[in-house]
Amino acid sequence: MNKSFVSADDVAKRAGVSRSAVSRTFTPGASVSEETRQRVMEAADALGYHVNQLARGLMRSESGIVCLVVSEMDTPYRARLVRALTHELQTAGKIAMLINTDRSDGSVDGALRQTLHYRADASILLSGLPDKAITRLCLNSGQRIVLINRDDDIEGPFRINLDDGQAARVAVSAFLRAGCRRLAFANSDVGTPSLMARERGFIAAAAEFGLEVMVVRHGNTVYESGRKIAQTLFTEPKRPDAVFCVNDLMALGLMDGAKHDFGLHIPEDLCVVGFDDIEQSAWTSYSLTTFSQPVDEIVKSSVAWLQSEATTGGVRSVSLHAPLIWRKTIRHKSVGA
Amino acid sequence: MNKSFVSADDVAKRAGVSRSAVSRTFTPGASVSEETRQRVMEAADALGYHVNQLARGLMRSESGIVCLVVSEMDTPYRARLVRALTHELQTAGKIAMLINTDRSDGSVDGALRQTLHYRADASILLSGLPDKAITRLCLNSGQRIVLINRDDDIEGPFRINLDDGQAARVAVSAFLRAGCRRLAFANSDVGTPSLMARERGFIAAAAEFGLEVMVVRHGNTVYESGRKIAQTLFTEPKRPDAVFCVNDLMALGLMDGAKHDFGLHIPEDLCVVGFDDIEQSAWTSYSLTTFSQPVDEIVKSSVAWLQSEATTGGVRSVSLHAPLIWRKTIRHKSVGA
DNA sequence: CGCCTTTTTGCAAGCGTGTGCAAAAGTTTC
DNA sequence: GAAACTTTTGCACACGCTTGCAAAAAGGCG
């Protein structure tokens, strides 16, 4: 009664076997006779025994813990990714530790240090760029690292990225086909690699057609910033007729600004394309045409890489395709032409 | 080089002290002279030493792990709660394990079993109702349990709830003041206690004024269900002029249905109130008047209770107030009267 | 300096588990 | 039935840490 957790010893005593037998019963692939296994299982059930993963992690090299390092995790896209990741990890027999890097102090570096405290097998970073020293520390400790959508030149982690440049190119040609000529790009000033890749790609693709792009960067990558950008963009003398927003949240904010503050009609007066394909983009009030994040593929390939044996060599980086989901914010034919 | 993790032994050797000294250096409140502490710290930094929390959790009664049991965690309200919880837990020196109960097999019970595997100090349940046997098992193992918004009669866990009934009452009187007389209630058929409490409260409050309520329940507590309910509600011969939606997502779906499928104007033709005050409700396209989940209070009181010493006696339940946030989906004066 | 009190330190015994190794038990073959 | 083999089992050590206990060191006081 007093002893809160029941240990393998207790089970062994009750089943009349050695503690090793108990351990082996719960270790897949170990050598136990069917009879003793039965006896052990029975005793374990009766006592409510669970193997202590902490202790197991102490012996084995693997703890079964995978850390997810995330900031602003209530953002629709991030939340979806976290949900999918935890699910996939669980079906792979691992468990997710969630590290919130919202606060400014130390942030990502501190988070990675935490992952070491708990001897995580791996860390998956959805936000922030870790210091190289810390990254190396993790790698040296035998930890695996996955970077999602944050390409950089660190050697060692597995990197998953989207073909942002290609997507930007598709956006430009979609706009052109719709008869748009005054292109704009709405970005935050966060400056994450993937966001900047979209910006560069868009500008480059437009340049191929001899078009310049109005670029506006503002605040965080959120709805409010989109609204704000609408204010500056649509008071310009030459109001753009097409905006590629670096992310859906900003696109939705920009659309609301365009509609309610400027009375613009979408897609007649203005075409908009976003990125992420969050749930809200499909809502009737928006019906945003946007690039879809291949969340399932991202998750599958992350977890698959974590499972893979080869720690050296092998693939170190994957680039996935983000298809354009056609809804109603790009008109199909040129207007007035 | 080969040895991946550096242990306290290594540090001790390098600093020329015993392993106990190292341990004590990293244990707040232990007795170490300032001189040895310095030496140890120096050696630890040089080697990149971190206390192994798994091993520490083995000795101490506390592992520092708190499990969050959630399903559909990409739902805006859930995501916000998870974000706030992880943040608060981290500042309290604890770490969050995230258990996803989306899949049907075993679900919550299996999740709680997982929490035992990792010797979690506590579990916070945001979704699902655990089997009583499992709950008891957790409690017997010295684990603390917090139930958020899922009141039931289980003895032992700490329960946080909102005054759903009171909120429903406020909604009714707000509708009446706006001149609405044909009230409706939009619910999912999930049947969670708090959702049902809102329904009962709304019906009861309406009855006090001699009004009947059209209740529609459909599917899950999501946007799509709201749209579906709009279909059934606004094709009725006596179309309601006020709808209390059990949750914001459903309210937004219902509004989109009302506007785009039936051309209704809000709040002139129809008043709507939601619950949760998710970010999207403040978006210009919706401006939903809704009850605000006191997320900060929920989180603070949860974590505070986890920290509190008294395991027996003390408060076992808290009821928080959800204030009505006035936006634009309830008109201020009666129309046409 | 001797005695007493306080602080610091090392020893060793745990915590609950996995696993190599050798002994024991069981199985096959002649 | 003995020999050769395979399977099962228990012992004991390891994992990395905390902590009670007693010895050692340091400090205080007459």
Which residue ranges form the domains of chain A, and what is each CATH number? Answer: 8-51 (1.10.260.40), 65-162+295-320 (3.40.50.2300), 164-293 (3.40.50.2300)
Chain A hits for B91, Cβ within 8 Å: 103
Chain B hits for A74, Cβ within 8 Å: 76, 79-80, 82-83, 279
Average confidence score pLDDT of chain B: 91
Which among B118, B140, B285 has the least Cβ separation from residue A95? Answer: B118
State residue A17's pLDDT score: 92
User: At residue B246, does pLDDT exceed 80?
Assistant: yes
Which bases along strand D come within 7 Å of a protein CB atom?
7-12, 14-20
Residue A107 banded pLDDT, cuts 50, 70, 90: low
State residue A156's pLDDT score: 82
Higher pLDDT: A132 or A87? It is A87
User: At residue B131, does pLDDT exceed 90?
Assistant: no
Beta-carbon contacts below 8 Å between A and B? 161
What ranges in chain B are assigned the alpha helix state H?
8-15, 19-25, 34-47, 53-59, 76-91, 107-117, 132-140, 164-177, 193-208, 223-233, 248-256, 262, 295-307
Across residues B310-330, what is the average pLDDT? 86
Chain A hits for B116, Cβ within 8 Å: 50
Residue B216 banded pLDDT, cuts 50, 70, 90: very high
Residues of B 307-336 whose CB lies less than 7 Å from any atom of strand D? none
Nearest chain B residue to A103 by CA distance is B87
DSSP state of B293: P
Across residues B60-76, what is the average pLDDT? 92
Across residues B177-199, what is the average pLDDT? 95
State residue B255's pLDDT score: 98
Q: Which residue is nearest to nucleotide D16 (CA to C1')?
A: B55
- With a 7 Å cutoff on the CB, does B52 touch strand C? no
User: pLDDT tens for residues A126-145?
Assistant: 977 777 777 777 887 888 99
State residue A106's pLDDT score: 63
Q: How far apart are CA A298 and CA A276, in angstroms?
A: 13
Residue A167 three-state SS: helix
Total count of residues recorded for chain A: 337
Residue A61 banded pLDDT, cuts 50, 70, 90: confident
Least confident of A174-178, A288-292, B100-104, B161-165: B100-104
Across residues B269-285, what is the average pLDDT? 98
- With a 7 Å cutoff on the CB, does B215 touch strand D? no
Nucleotide in closest CA–C1' contact with A7? C16
Nearest chain B residue to A249 by CA distance is B280
User: At residue B226, does pLDDT exceed 70?
Assistant: yes
State residue B207's pLDDT score: 97
CA distance B210 to chain A (A): 36
- With a 7 Å cutoff on the CB, does B74 touch strand C? no
| Contact criterion met (CB < 8 Å) for A285 and B260 | yes
Tell me the CA end-to-end span of chain B in Å, nearest whole number.
83
User: Could you tell me whether strands A158-162 and A213-217 are parallel, antiparallel, or unpaired per DSSP bridges?
Assistant: unpaired
Nearest chain A residue to B118 by CA distance is A53
Residues of A 22-81 whose CB lies less than 7 Å from any atom of strand C? 23-24, 26-27, 30, 49-52, 55-56, 58-60
User: At residue A185, does pLDDT exceed 50?
Assistant: yes
Residue B322 banded pLDDT, cuts 50, 70, 90: very high
Least confident of A96-110, A209-223, A247-261: A96-110
Query: Between the CA of A57 and the C1' of C15, what is the distance in angstroms?
Result: 13
Across residues B221-239, what is the average pLDDT? 96
Long-range residue pairs from B52-58, CB within 8 A, at least 24 positions apart, any chain: B52/A58, B52/A117, B52/A119, B52/B5, B52/B7, B53/A117, B53/A118, B53/A119, B54/A54, B54/A55, B54/A57, B54/A58, B54/A63, B54/A118, B54/A119, B55/A54, B55/A58, B57/A54, B57/B119, B58/A52, B58/A54, B58/A55, B58/A58
CA distance B307 to chain A (A): 19
Contact in structure between B322 and B291 (CB atoms under 8 Å): yes
Q: How far apart are CA B189 and CA B192, in angstroms?
A: 9
Q: How far apart are CA A52 and CA A210, in angstroms?
A: 65
Average confidence score pLDDT of chain A: 91
- With a 7 Å cutoff on the CB, does B40 touch strand C? no
Query: Between the CA of B64 and the C1' of D26, what is the distance in angstroms?
Result: 37
State residue A1's pLDDT score: 37
Higher pLDDT: A294 or B57? It is A294
Q: Which residue is nearest to nucleotide D26 (CA to C1')?
A: B33
- With a 7 Å cutoff on the CB, does A31 touch strand D? yes
State residue A112's pLDDT score: 82
- With a 7 Å cutoff on the CB, does B13 touch strand D? no
State residue B337's pLDDT score: 46
State residue B254's pLDDT score: 98
Q: Which residue is nearest to nucleotide D10 (CA to C1')?
A: A18
State residue B281's pLDDT score: 98
| Contact criterion met (CB < 8 Å) for A74 and B82 | yes
User: At residue A336, does pLDDT exceed 60?
Assistant: no
| Contact criterion met (CB < 8 Å) for B116 and A80 | no
Across residues B301-310, what is the average pLDDT? 86
User: pLDDT tens for residues A281-335?
Assistant: 999 999 999 999 999 999 999 999 998 876 556 678 899 999 999 999 999 865 5
Across residues B164-184, what is the average pLDDT? 97
Residue A105 banded pLDDT, cuts 50, 70, 90: low
State residue B310's pLDDT score: 60
State residue A82's pLDDT score: 98
Across residues A87-111, what is the average pLDDT? 85
- With a 7 Å cutoff on the CB, does B52 touch strand D? yes
Percent residues over pLDDT 90 in chain A: 73
| Contact criterion met (CB < 8 Å) for B83 and A103 | no
- With a 7 Å cutoff on the CB, does A215 touch strand C? no
Which among A50, A54, A90 has the least Cβ separation from residue B58? Answer: A54
Percent residues over pLDDT 70 in chain B: 94
Least confident of A279-283, A319-323, B117-121, B323-327: B117-121
